Structure 1
């Protein structure tokens, strides 16, 4: 197994920990947890899960808090070849029941996460509810949990499903994105020798103290934990609550994943500090990776100016992992030309822009992003029709629209399904948002569509004004008209102080759509603090 491409997931991590047992894998609430200690936790979990009858093909749902014990339990389940489903925070009781009812043999949780809804769903599904601390980590091994020489040897079958990641569930129950063990082993982040490009190593070198929060079970968290742990870094799990950017300063964080709304929160805090507020030291940060939703060029520029050459921008999906990366070096060398891009293609990723018929488009022409990568999902479990829509001859249709010019940088222009038909003419939401965000009076812009008696559908914009500015709605409409033509200008423009955020950290478009004014007209600029906004 010296060839990384032949290693069974997660064997590269086990081997890396065994070679360097004294280095902290985690810093848990300010206490170091060496890699050798984590391996011992994994051994205990392997023995006890195996004694409970779990092995290749068994279904395990994991809903622990972010702890070294929870991480060890997940790695143990993978070593045994189980199908691991991550129960992300925020699932409703109905969603928990739906997910756990899908061939789950055991639910791993802890005292802090074992809610009545979780226990009820496990019972209804006939799945064992296992407390990670009490049942897997603490006390003597139960009968039948004898140590074996191969406790730390991965034994998964390559074509079995290894990781199931849940989508947001905004359309009802969450889709279950399934990756095989073969795909997990082939993912670029788990192959330092074979697939870490210069840009990937530039990113990994910054992950000396990587902030971990939210959940350990998502595909993106595993992707970046691999970067941290396989490069010798330490994953920092701070005391709750986590606050941005204050937690960075308190724990001297060097790397962090960041959604766009969270970045806006950080920038607002830094603005307030400049105006006499409490100062925050962000000098330890080396890599702030922003992803999850589009970031307007002027905000990327502001982030770079305020934080220094530490801002990366990534693009990817739950179904594919990270596909492109824009680095601080790219920004320093080509600033004016790349702030509107999400970077260039990652190693091991084939990317093609296609027209609606699935044919490649010319360079610089907008098209749907199709990708092919060894680490991508195999499909949505139990959703054959949706799988057929997205998977085409080994390619994944992302439903994102973009351009790819001769410079090799990808520029997103919208979502293939996020469109508005005004008088039967198609308008892309992303293009309208970009036109609004380019106005100097606008800090952030979000657009949703809604039925309209006169035009069939109409665009409705929600705008966060730039600090100290009072945008004129007609000026904003004129800017959109000049850029995109008739039908694109929003029917209403509502001024807000901040965008609502969905549980996954992205802007909550459904919440905005619910606020579309029924009778039209514009909202006034944001009310002073303590007064309600009026629409």
Structure 2
């Protein structure tokens, strides 16, 4: 007889929970949830979705906090084969409206979960169709129309998070340290969600931290995600963290000095990951890898004219509704990262810059173009050019160079109010410099590399 085809995502995760029937898998305050409890919750919510007519190919938007029910709802939506759009906190009203307009059949908020969980638990079937889009993850909050990475059910089924036999060496090492993994912020975060799946698969407990400050100590956590600025602050405090075994550094590259200092102060607990919404994880440095690298990639990597191209089992297929940018980034089965880097003789990947014109604020990508367009709408601004500057609190921040209109230099406060209202506070400039004209490249185009 021919081999039985594997059921689509989230079957592998559901199998993990079934095997953990009597074992604690989630903890939120005094509440402890076993694998069997979570599986029952997923089945009830999935049945509720089906009763509402949600099925394969239908869009569902999730505006949820960080709870056991939120995690169950994500898996239940995938079980019925829906196209899941997670709406993270901090977006402007216009951005939320855009995401809710992506052919959405059902919108689910925290208040809806009480009713959904009251359904009887039906059989947990996985109805995702291979070529259907399983989820849309928006890459940026810097424009009213964020790009949405479209990942198929085949791609999510091929992902290795819930399949230990497919774990690359760095993930196998990490998995041994995920006894108590903190989740906070938003489960619509690809990083937050997928490390939670690895934790469950590795036999650990996902611990909800309502407030991430000092959560490692309060919850006796062994692992958490952390941004580079937050890591720098933690290192400066040099705290005693006896339970900590893994800090998952995400969002922006660590310099050699920052990386080495973190290892010296905190011990061998720093795992420095490199990935993109478009690709999933590309590479990860373990504590034994050279500082300043992001480890040895377990996926296909090519360096083309200094730019990194990758091919991963779980990569997205396109940007939803954006064929122009899709054609630029998704090229013949490869993903053009628009990051610059090189591989050393030992196969370690070094990141050296970005080909993209972006600012990374608190590990979120914000494109400079939309910010420049909004700034140029101010009556005192003729032209605007945005660059990223280092920031101790957010990693990077926006520095705007403006050509004043009629010699009227605009006020920083006015520009911040304008940008915040349109694009959100993360895009607002922290500094504005008036210039007579921008420097030019030999081509005659403005050369923002010369602005500083």
Bucket of the pairwise TM-score, normalised by the shorter protein: 0.7 to 0.9
Q: CA deviation at 1:204?
A: 0.9
Partner residue, 1:89: 89
> Matches of 2:46 and 2:22 in 1, distance apart?
21
d(CA) in 1 for partners of 2:96, 2:228 = 27
Q: What is aligned with 1:214?
A: 185
The Cα shift of 1:164 comes to 0.9
TM-score with structure 2 setting the length: 0.79
Contact kept, 8 Å, 1:460 with 1:516, in 2: the verdict is no
Counterparts in 2 of 1:255 and 1:511: CA distance versus 1, 3 Å = same
Q: Deviations over 1:329-384 (max 9, x none)?
A: 22xxxxxxx212111102xx1110002xxxxxxxxxxx100001120001110101
Q: Cα–Cα, structure 1 residues 49 and 378, in superposed 2: closer, same or farther, change >3 Å? A: same
Task: Indicate if the aligned counterparts of 1:61 and 1:87 stay in contact, CA closer than 8 A.
Answer: yes
Asked if structure 2 preserves the Cα contact closer than 8 Å seen for 1:203 and 1:287, the reply is: yes
Aligned-partner Cα distance in 1 for 2:391–2:19:
52
Counterpart in the other structure of 1:248:
216
Aligned partner (choices 336, 339, 351) of residue 301 of structure 2: 351
Aligned to 2:98: 98
Match of 1:136 in 2: 116
What is the match of residue 168 of structure 2? 197
**Following superposition of structure 1 onto structure 2, how do residues 20-419 of structure 1 map, counting pairs within 5 Å?**
20-111=20-111, 131-133=112-114, 135-138=115-118, 141=119, 148=122, 151-193=123-165, 195-238=166-209, 240-243=210-213, 246-270=214-238, 280-330=239-289, 338-346=290-298, 349-355=299-305, 367-418=306-357
Question: Following TM superposition, by how much is the alpha carbon of 1:396 offset from its aligned partner in structure 2, in angstroms?
Answer: 0.4
**Structure 1 match to 2:448:** none
Q: Distance in 2 between matches of 1:61 and 1:319?
A: 19
Query: 1:478 is matched with which residue?
Result: none
Q: Is the 8 A contact 2:19 2:35 kept in 1?
A: no
SS of equivalent to 1:6: coil
Supply the RMSD in Å over aligned alpha carbons.
2.9
Q: Which has the larger radius of gyration?
A: 1
Secondary structure at the counterpart of residue 253 of structure 2: coil
Determine the C-alpha separation between the residues in 2 that align with 1:48 and 1:464: 46
Residues 1:30 and 1:105: Cα distance change in structure 2 (over 3 Å): same
Q: Distance in 2 between matches of 1:4 and 1:197?
A: 25
Kindly state the Cα deviation for residue 326 of structure 1 after the two structures are TM-superposed.
0.6
Deviation at 1:242, TM superposition (A): 2.1
State the distance in 1 between where 2:325 and 2:285 align. Answer: 31
Could you tell me how far 1:4 is from its partner in structure 2? 11
Contact kept in structure 2, 1:4 and 1:191, CA below 8 Å? no
| Cα distance in 1 for residues equivalent to 2:338 and 2:237 | 34
Secondary structure, aligned partner of 2:301 = strand
* Conserved? CA contact 1:324–1:344, under 8 Å: yes
Which residue number corresponds to residue 124 of structure 1? none
Superposed displacement of residue 517, structure 1: 3.1
SS at 1:329's partner residue?
coil
Q: 1:369 to 1:136 in 2, by over 3 A?
A: same
Q: Measure the CA separation in 2 of the matches of 1:285 and 1:462.
A: 28
Q: Map Cα deviations across residues 112-132 of structure 1 (whole Å, 9 max, x no partner).
A: xxxxxxxxxxxxxxxxxxx11
Q: Determine the C-alpha separation between the residues in 1 that align with 2:69 and 2:392.
A: 42
CA 180–457 in structure 1, closer or farther in 2 if over 3 Å, else same = closer
Gaps of 5+ in 1: 112-130, 271-279, 331-337, 356-366, 420-428, 431-447, 451-455, 466-502, 521-535
Structure 2: distance between partners of 1:313 and 1:4: 38
Asked if 2 retains the 8 angstrom alpha-carbon contact of 1:63 and 1:88, the reply is yes
Instruction: For 1:283 and 1:228, locate their aligned partners in 2 and report how far apart those are by CA, in whole Å.
Output: 20
- Report the secondary structure of 2:9's partner residue: coil
CA distance in 1, matches of 2:103, 2:311: 29
